[in-house]
Amino acid sequence: MTTLQIQPAARAMAIEYAIRDVVVPAMALEAQGHSILKLNIGDPIAYPGLPTPQHMVDAYAAAVQHGMNGYSPSYGLPELRTAIATDEQRKGWPATPDDIYVCHGVTEALQIIFAALLEEGDVVLAPGPHYPPYMAYPQMFGARTEEYRLDPNQGWDLDLDDIEARMSDKVRLLVLINPNNPTGNVAGSAQIDALLNIAEKWPNCIVLADEIYDGLDLSGDQVAVASRSTSVPVITMNGVSKVYFAPGWRIGWFGLHDPTGRMTLVRDAMERLLRSRLCASTPAQRGFLAGLEGDRGWMGAYIDKVRKQRDRCVERIRGIDGLEVQSPGGAFYMFIRLTDPKWANNDKEFVLRLLEEEHVLLVHGSGFSSVRGAGHVRLVYLADVNVLDDAFDRIDRFLQRHRG
Ligand SMILES: Cc1ncc(COP(=O)(O)O)c(C=O)c1O
């Protein structure tokens, strides 16, 4: 007899998260005693050599020890909002502490921003390919995500004509992820200015700038979107997860840059939502504060390591028949094109077979965009060079065994 199932909401059942979905078969292999080279998750702590800086850990631990275990104000600890605003001013926009709202990671910031803005029929225009929550969450509010094209042959640059063609009154948020996950492309000031010029023609539209990888810019071209805007409203997001190497703390923030005063009602809506969910983790906010206020000399060595690993991956990919890559300008991802016809239309099968046969775990590109990511795989290049070399030896062997 089948048990009657209580029906969940369709909006939840529509959610897919490719990055974690492929972990299930990997865990099954591990349970059988195999060890897996996991190059799938953008968590620096999962790889050796990139620990959370000690002074930040100490500040977090001290906060717990010294009884700072209560709720914080809903918008964040005042000291932290001030430190974030000061940091953003250095990036070139006039942030005040009141413009900064601390969340449980950028992921919570996204949920609040979408909940505050989106109505039935609205559109979020986001880069294709992109980090999956940009697709998953808007539909929960009756809105939908449309993708604009990143050019796969030009370093995944923004296709500004495509953005322009897709703009309408329905587009409430125009998203820029800079540097981008999964492609690693970095938009410089000329492209950002062009994007802002497009957005300016649509008074209903806010530019949403996800700058969570800004400190991991290897190109030198990255600039804060808000620093370029004198008229378009911009919401900036960032946090402790990537640049400060503490993703498990779940601390992020969003900041409002409202040069022409058009976000007053939106701000009110966001503040209501923030108050209703109490606050982000108090001791973790203390840890982030130590990162912002402390010496940042440690970052240089981290970036050097990431750069070295990127360069090695690009070199290895150039030597493998069946793979191609546009060298990423930032973050820590390679979005690799599968050129062999056997896999070009079959990136998920490639990932699953590679896992099964060679015990290397990547993520299928179609999980980042069914159209623009198809035929690609994403590799996280945070592992040491010798691990990356081992992975590429296995990928090469696999490709040689399975030619189309
Ligand atoms: C572009 C982008 N935004 C946001 C996040 C998540 O940020 P947080 O850990 O602050 O929720 C990620 C995580 O991979 C990401 O790639």
Block means of pLDDT (10 residues each) for the chain, length 404 residues? 86 78 90 94 90 98 96 98 98 98 98 97 96 92 96 96 98 98 97 98 97 97 98 98 97 98 97 97 98 96 95 96 95 96 93 96 93 95 95 97 88
Are 277 and 131 in contact by the 8 Å Cβ rule? The answer is no
Q: Round to whole Å and give the CA distance between 250 and 197.
A: 34
Taking only the tens place, the pLDDT of each residue in 79-104 is 999 999 999 999 999 999 999 999 99
Please give the number of the atom of ligand 1 that sits closest to the Cα of 239. Answer: 10
Domain 10-51+298-401 has CATH 3.90.1150.10: yes
**pTM listed for this prediction:** 0.96
Domains 10-51+298-401 and 54-293 belong to one CATH topology: no
Instruction: Return the domain boundaries, the chain.
Output: 10-51+298-401, 54-293
Distance (Å) from CA 107 to ligand 1 centroid: 6
CATH code matching the domain that covers 54-293, chosen among 3.40.640.10, 3.30.1180.20, 3.90.1170.40, 2.40.160.10: 3.40.640.10
In degrees to the nearest 10, what's the CA dihedral of 71, 77, 78, 80? 180
Give the position of tokens 């587009």: 171
Ligand 1: list residues with CB < 6 Å.
Answer: 42, 105-107, 131, 177, 181, 210, 212, 239, 241, 247, 252
Alpha carbon distance, N-terminus to C-terminus of the chain: 46
Give the position of tokens 């992020």: 252
Taking only the tens place, the pLDDT of each residue in 321-379 is 999 999 999 999 999 999 999 999 999 999 999 999 999 999 999 999 989 999 999 99
Distance (Å) from CA 383 to ligand 1 centroid: 19
Distance (Å) from CA 154 to ligand 1 centroid: 24
Are 257 and 95 in contact by the 8 Å Cβ rule? The answer is yes
Site to substitute for ligand 1 among 101, 107, 250, most atoms within 8 A of C-beta: 107
Cα of 320 vs its chain's centroid, Å: 28
